[in-house]
Amino acid sequence: MYNSLLAKFLEALAVVFSVVYTWMYLKGYLPGGYVAAGLGAGLFAFLCWKKKIYAESALQLFYIGMAVYGYNLVLEDGTSAHTLSIYTHILWLTIATIGTVFLSLFLKHYTDAEMPYLDAFTTVFSIVATWLMINLIHENWLYWIVIDSVSIYLYAKRGLKLGSVLFVLYLILALDGYFEAISIF
């Protein structure tokens, strides 16, 4: 019972830090939001590892690195959003799709991952979306809308109920971020 309560507490704390980061990002409260991002990612890395969502756990470690990168980037360069060409997005989508295929095959054949295909998809595409987000590419929100929708199912299926609620909140925030005029938060 103790481990279960501790796990639920850590999951709740990870959700709070993660929502705080995304809200701060939307509101332009950077670089401070990157501290919350790193803390939330660290907790989720541990939780995902325990639930055998290995690629997602590694992704959370990547998020910690991106939080440090984003923190330093904002301190050095300030913030100014921009967009990419459709051809650049096609290139990113092609690379991410190929990466997803290879990672899912690896997870399926060399680990005891419970959901290797979805785990690989959310991981690889999240790396691309995070890079776009940290570099203030507005279309990052389109990537997140798809990733968050899949992650809701992945986390719920693996018993991380608060994590799946987090992805519902992320989905709402991604819609808000992309359409900007909604401003629900």
pLDDT confidence of residue 74: 85
| Whole-structure pTM value | 0.83
Residues 6+ apart with CB under 8 A from 64: 38, 41, 42, 45
| Range of the structural domain that residue 124 is part of | 2-179
110 assigned to some structural domain: yes
pLDDT confidence of residue 78: 64
pLDDT confidence of residue 162: 86
90 assigned to some structural domain: yes
Query: How many distinct structural domains can be found in the chain?
Result: 1
184 assigned to some structural domain: no
Task: State which residues of the chain have pLDDT below 50.
Answer: 1, 181, 184-185
84 assigned to some structural domain: yes
185 assigned to some structural domain: no
Q: What is the rounded CA–CA span in Å between residue 16 and residue 115?
A: 25
What does the pLDDT look like over 24-59, one tens digit per residue? 988 888 888 999 999 999 999 999 998 888 888 998
